[in-house]
Structure 1
Amino acid sequence: MAVPPIRMRPLGKARAAVIYLGMVVVPALLAYYFLRRADNPAGSGTADAKVDSGTLAQLLMAIVVVVVASKIAGRLVTRIGQPAVIGEIAAGIVLGPSVLGALWPDATGTLLPASVLPQIGILGQLGVVLFVFLAGLEIDAARLRGQESLAVVVSHVGIALPFMLGVGLALVAADQFRPAQVGIASYAIFVGVAMSVTALPVLARILQDTGLHGTRIGTLALTCALVDDVTAWFLLAMVLALVSAGTTAGVAMTVALTAAFTAVLLCGVRPLLHRARPVLDARPDLAVLVALVGLFASAWFTELIGVHAIFGAFLFGLICPAESRWSNRVRKAVVGLTMSLLLPLFFVSSGLRTEIGSLGLDASLWAWTGVVLLVAVAGKFVGTAVAARAVGTDWRTGLQIGTLMNCRGLTELIVLNIGLDIGVLTPELFTMLVLMALVSTAMAAPLLALLRRPGQEAPEPEPVAAGSG
């Protein structure tokens, strides 16, 4: 049975508009008015909403400015043979009070308003946690096979000498640069650690740019840097335990919890991950989920016990199966967001805390900056080169390894920001050490080029027994 059509009078545009206005727009406006009066008679809710909306807009604008500035600066420095990280760190300093804030304060307030700085800092810290996880993921113990003793000796001598020199320098300068609330031991040991680190990612990038990646000297330098990286993070964890715990009993408890957590990861979680590798290789979505949950849970626990979130993230990356299909998928999923967005925010957050103007025209402060640079570079360079020569390489090779191990880059910046956060470093000493990190990293590639043998793509170490020393 056919349904008869509904008969309707033609609806004119004017009549439709009146009906719509009276039955849709007016009730909606009345409902909004009464709800606003009921929820917030003073009108503060609307103001808060505007503030929240404005803060989000400002944060999004700041992210655009930071990412664009970092990438432009990175591209510029790569054209003169420097790692991109130099330009990205420099961009953070330029956007901060040292340059733009001093020359055009209103521009800094507009591009990076104070209301978004906490959010930028949190996003930057998230980037650091992910970056350190990636650093742990890159460490393959198989690379140490055949040269464990050599790498450990060269790396640890290259840490010990600048560490001792840094501790000595800190003690000499304690009256001027030690924060009053920080113990002399915590302060001096932290400065020693800051003098000792090597930036593994920057070193790897320099090896690729100079054609040394995959050569014997490149492999040796990279292996030493792997050992250096692991040792530096463990040293930093010990210092943080000392600072956060305060008492001997507190330090012992923090160290015991850290050791227990490390044992659980190595002896419990790591075998499970290796057994689950076939499933994770076949399920990329599950692999990424497991990695993110594992690294953030590990970071949360180490932050809870007082040795900083980065240590947990690094440990979890370290226990993941190296060079597996699922670790490669995790790396691809994490590295883009981390390197392109979150780390530039960390650079700017660091730049905003680096006030070169705090050194002013004070000749003594600039003299101390020179001493800091000299001690850091000489300690790392001499310690590594002499150790490499002692285990059987020629002097030129030893000097090249010493040059490569002087790269500090982002790793140093992470350590320094932690020091400033926990109050171990004063703003002046923080600025000095940031300048040291920039200069020591920037000088690595040019100095390496000077030490290359003419006519040879890659200098080779003299034959040595793989496990000698």
Structure 2
Amino acid sequence: MSPDATVTHVIAALAIVIATAHALGAAARRLRQPAVIGQLFAGIALGPSLLGLAPGHMYENLFPLQIRPVLTAVAQLALVLFLFAVGYELDLGLLRGRRAVWAVALGGFAIPMLTGIATALFFRRGFAAVNGGNPVDATFVLFLAVALSITAVPVLAAVIRDQGLSGTVAGAVAMAAAGLVDVLSWPVLAFVLVGGEHGSVASWAVRIALLALYVLVMVFVVRPLLVWWKRRPGTLVADDVPVAVAVALGSAWATNALGLHVIFGALLAGVIMPRQPDGVPDSRLLGPLQETGGLLLPVFFAVSGLAVDLRGLHPSDGLVLLLLCAVATVSKVGAGTLSARAVRSSWPDAVVTGLLLNTRGLTELIVLDVGLRAGVIGSRLYTLLVVMALFTTAATGPSLGLLRRIRGARTVSDASAAMGDPEPAPRQ
């Protein structure tokens, strides 16, 4: 394929991907689901699972092998910008948060982690059968545990808004706890990937030491330079955006060179980026990055969808999928509910908190993409975990609606009993 033909194919593919993701995202919102659900499904629909079934080799013509590296590069750029914005918005003041936030975050992280470890160990043979020949070793066990403990903060914010839970105790606690879960999850995932590299103990120790040194350089060298840059005389906000993008891309390259994924460098760059004097992110800096990252994220969904091949699943894989969905839901909802109840939340608020924490969405897909590229999981298990992420995220809204109807029915029943309404006469 000539360079001109490659460019033409890339432009056509980007147009179709972005338009399809926007259309299905809008359809998801009409169904009272987060837009990301429709966008995730768009990625799968444009992959071999659905488009690959169309006549005329439409899938191969739209995504020929020659353009996939270009689409992958665009997808990684979208992730870098998106994760930089997530890191910039991350409020480390949550670490000094209320006792309820800490309890729910630790419970919502530790219990699914331990449940994931136990599940991987007890069903080692079943996971080995769907993992595409990749070893079910300690790295796999820890990775599965992290995958089950993730909560997607951006998607959770959309669910809280759409369900009218903004300003409620359950919504505030779940949102803050989800942020803390991310703070705990990303370092563990980084440790899993570094520890999973083949090599001697000495090389592993060197890699850890280099990573620690890099973090120190970012915190104590790069951050002060950024503070000076923002406070220099005659500074313009317009100058901050390209500097922030350059720092994000450079940090992403550095962590990738250290054997990690680009997302870790992007997150770290966002965390160290100076905020406004009152500690609030600068919306004039954050806005362009969020808009650009959000516009390109459908490309990441499409690239991820290329690895989702439902046609390659076996009938027996349904049992593994049911196991993953059950373990992910029970461990997350149960952990969030019991942790909130332990700090004296009411049972209804505690259940709402647990249901909200079960939202995985985009963050889960990022984690799975990291595991797939690192060779920790194979394509079949990747497909099953993506379906699990879609199920747990899509089930959050209906579950909250069902809980609301149950609470409403009980309220009416209690009110009727309090008023002394007679019980209905038995049928003759």
- Using the size of structure 1 for normalisation, the TM-score is 0.81
Aligned sequence identity (%)? 37
Compared with structure 1, are the counterparts of its residues 280 and 306 closer, same or farther at alpha carbon in structure 2 (3 Å cutoff)? farther
Rounded Cα–Cα distance in structure 1 between residues aligned with 2:346 and 2:214: 42
Residue 163 (structure 2) aligned to one of 210, 221, 224: 210
Partner residue of 1:351? Answer: 305
Compared with structure 1, are the counterparts of its residues 141 and 175 closer, same or farther at alpha carbon in structure 2 (3 Å cutoff)? closer
Partner residue of 2:333? Answer: 381
Residue 414 (structure 1) aligned to one of 358, 363, 366: 366
Partner residue of 1:308? Answer: 261
User: Retained in 2: the 8 A contact 1:174–1:184?
Assistant: no
1:183 deviates by 6.1
Rounded Cα–Cα distance in structure 1 between residues aligned with 2:32 and 2:95: 29
Partner residue of 1:188? Answer: 141
Partner residue of 2:74? Answer: 123
User: Retained in 1: the 8 A contact 2:87–2:267?
Assistant: yes
Compared with structure 1, are the counterparts of its residues 72 and 196 closer, same or farther at alpha carbon in structure 2 (3 Å cutoff)? same
Compared with structure 1, are the counterparts of its residues 105 and 255 closer, same or farther at alpha carbon in structure 2 (3 Å cutoff)? farther
Rounded Cα–Cα distance in structure 2 between residues aligned with 1:281 and 1:232: 40
Partner residue of 1:72? Answer: 23
1:316 deviates by 1.2
Residue 345 (structure 2) aligned to one of 390, 393, 398: 393
Compared with structure 1, are the counterparts of its residues 326 and 174 closer, same or farther at alpha carbon in structure 2 (3 Å cutoff)? closer
1:285 deviates by 2.4
1:231 deviates by 1.2
Partner residue of 1:292? Answer: 245
Compared with structure 1, are the counterparts of its residues 320 and 189 closer, same or farther at alpha carbon in structure 2 (3 Å cutoff)? same
Rounded Cα–Cα distance in structure 1 between residues aligned with 2:49 and 2:233: 47
| SS of match in other structure, 1:407 | coil
Partner residue of 2:130? Answer: 177
Residue 381 (structure 2) aligned to one of 429, 432, 448: 429
Compared with structure 1, are the counterparts of its residues 67 and 352 closer, same or farther at alpha carbon in structure 2 (3 Å cutoff)? same
Residue 161 (structure 1) aligned to one of 111, 118, 129: 111
Q: What are the Cα deviations for residues 100-145 of structure 1, in whole angstroms up to 9, with x where unaligned?
A: 1023361112222222122111111111111111111111234555
Rounded Cα–Cα distance in structure 1 between residues aligned with 2:93 and 2:275: 9
Rounded Cα–Cα distance in structure 1 between residues aligned with 2:248 and 2:85: 10
What CA RMSD, in Å, does the superposition of the two structures yield over aligned residues? 2.2
The 5-angstrom pairing of residues 234-313 of structure 1 reads 234-279=187-232, 282-313=235-266
Amino acid at match of 1:53: D
User: Retained in 1: the 8 A contact 2:84–2:269?
Assistant: yes
Say whether 1:443 aligns with 2:398. Answer: no
Say whether 1:63 aligns with 2:14. Answer: yes
Compared with structure 1, are the counterparts of its residues 59 and 445 closer, same or farther at alpha carbon in structure 2 (3 Å cutoff)? same
Compared with structure 1, are the counterparts of its residues 400 and 250 closer, same or farther at alpha carbon in structure 2 (3 Å cutoff)? farther
| SS of match in other structure, 2:197 | helix
Rounded Cα–Cα distance in structure 2 between residues aligned with 1:297 and 1:270: 14
Unaligned segments of structure 2, at least 5 residues? 410-428
Partner residue of 1:92? Answer: 43
1:214 deviates by 3.3
Compared with structure 1, are the counterparts of its residues 214 and 266 closer, same or farther at alpha carbon in structure 2 (3 Å cutoff)? farther
Compared with structure 1, are the counterparts of its residues 104 and 331 closer, same or farther at alpha carbon in structure 2 (3 Å cutoff)? farther
Rounded Cα–Cα distance in structure 2 between residues aligned with 1:281 and 1:197: 42
Amino acid at match of 1:339: G
Q: What are the Cα deviations for residues 248-300 of structure 1, in whole angstroms up to 9, with x where unaligned?
A: 32332222222222233233433443454444994122211221121111111
Rounded Cα–Cα distance in structure 1 between residues aligned with 2:211 and 2:67: 34
Rounded Cα–Cα distance in structure 1 between residues aligned with 2:206 and 2:273: 27
Q: Which of the two has higher C-alpha Rg? A: 1
**Count of residues paired in the alignment:** 402
Partner residue of 2:419? Answer: none
Amino acid at match of 1:269: V
Partner residue of 1:466? Answer: none
Amino acid at match of 1:338: G
Partner residue of 1:113? Answer: 64
Unaligned segments of structure 1, at least 5 residues? 1-47, 456-469
User: Retained in 2: the 8 A contact 1:74–1:86?
Assistant: yes
Q: What are the Cα deviations for residues 58-85 of structure 1, in whole angstroms up to 9, with x where unaligned?
A: 1101111101100000000100100000
Shift >6 Å, 4+ stretches = none
1:369 deviates by 0.7
Compared with structure 1, are the counterparts of its residues 224 and 258 closer, same or farther at alpha carbon in structure 2 (3 Å cutoff)? same
User: Retained in 1: the 8 A contact 2:94–2:180?
Assistant: no
1:428 deviates by 1.0
The 5-angstrom pairing of residues 12-91 of structure 1 reads 51-91=2-42
Say whether 1:132 aligns with 2:67. Answer: no
Rounded Cα–Cα distance in structure 2 between residues aligned with 1:451 and 1:142: 32
Rounded Cα–Cα distance in structure 1 between residues aligned with 2:196 and 2:96: 36
Rounded Cα–Cα distance in structure 1 between residues aligned with 2:112 and 2:280: 38
Residue 284 (structure 2) aligned to one of 319, 324, 329: 329
Rounded Cα–Cα distance in structure 1 between residues aligned with 2:157 and 2:174: 9
Partner residue of 1:23? Answer: none
Single out whichever of 60-69 and 391-400 deviates more from structure 2.
391-400
Amino acid at match of 2:178: A
Q: What are the Cα deviations for residues 426-448 of structure 1, in whole angstroms up to 9, with x where unaligned?
A: 11111100000000000111212
User: Retained in 2: the 8 A contact 1:177–1:429?
Assistant: yes
1:355 deviates by 0.6
